[in-house]
Amino acid sequence: MSTLRLALFDLDNTLLSGDSDYEWGQFLIERGVLGRAEYEAQNAAFFEQYKAGTLDIHEYLGFALRPLAAHALHDLDRWHEEFMASCILPMIGKPARALVERHRAAGDLCAVVTATNSFVTVPIARAFGIDHLIATEPETVNGRYTGRVAGTPCFREGKVRRVEDWLAGLGRTMTEFSDSAFYSDSQNDLPLLERVTRPVAVDPDVKLAAEAARRGWPVISLR
């Protein structure tokens, strides 16, 4: 039995004090890249569905990945640099950085596991010093995004599958770890929370808070 420990972190409203996917859409609206009238209400509606646990991930991704397909990568990268500075870095608090650093200092295998697409989240995982990112992957063809998803979306049961596939690529399985922690705020993450040895609810939504209380899971705040 390996003594290696595994630490998995949800991103939005867990390590971040906000939702990077939602804020990316709002940022593009404020920049005039997306039309406010046709995009803002939809963005808000999908966000409410996510919080309620009723989101159709494929319908949402058809909406969320469309802006990536509409613009060249160099423009997207330029906008993302500004987005990181103005929106994301203010959402990274000292307690979240300290939590990640404790796991990294202990030599734990760390990964961000998020439904938000990898274009948005690669620089955010890097800002936390986490080398491994398991995210929804947007499809690319000839150096441009297509607006479609590549593979399994990293959402609900898809998070479990994607984590298992990632570990298999490292020649490992979840059961090999003496301790496996997953930190999340969301009821949508119950499938993965149920798979680890140490599920931790972080500033949880109402349903996850109730489940954590029922099952005796620890509840922490990073705010």
Interatomic CA distance for residues 123 and 160, integer angstroms: 23
Q: For position 3, what pLDDT does the model report?
A: 73
Taking Cα atoms as reference points, which of 66, 20, 18 lies closest to residue 42?
66
Lowest mean pLDDT among 9-13, 49-53, 169-173, 208-212: 49-53
What is the token pair recorded at 115?
């439904």
- Per the prediction, the chain carries an average pLDDT of 96
C-alpha 151 chain-centroid distance: 16
- Banded pLDDT at 2 (limits 50, 70, 90): very low
Q: For position 137, what pLDDT does the model report?
A: 98
Q: For position 37, what pLDDT does the model report?
A: 87
How many domains does the chain divide into?
1
Is residue 153 within 8 A of residue 58, CB to CB? The reply is yes
Count of CB atoms within 10 A of residue 113's CB?
24
- pLDDT tens digits for range 134-144: 999 999 999 99
Is residue 207 within 8 A of residue 223, CB to CB? The reply is no
Q: For position 1, what pLDDT does the model report?
A: 41
Residues recognised as catalytic: 10, 12
Count of CB atoms within 10 A of residue 136's CB?
28
Contacts of 212 (CB under 8 A, 6+ apart): 199, 201, 204, 218, 219
Q: For position 176, what pLDDT does the model report?
A: 94
* CATH code, 40: 3.40.50.1000
- pLDDT tens digits for range 29-62: 999 999 998 899 999 999 999 999 999 999 999 9
Give the range of the structural domain holding residue 167, as residue numbers without chain letter: 5-220
What is the token pair recorded at 146?
């297509």
Is residue 112 within 8 A of residue 11, CB to CB? The reply is yes
- pLDDT tens digits for range 75-126: 999 999 999 999 999 999 999 999 999 999 999 999 999 999 999 999 999 9
Beta bridge partner(s), residue 149: 138
- pLDDT tens digits for range 203-219: 999 999 999 999 999 99
- pLDDT tens digits for range 174-200: 999 999 999 999 999 999 999 999 999
| The residue to which tokens 């209380």 are assigned | 213
Helix/strand/coil for 99 = helix
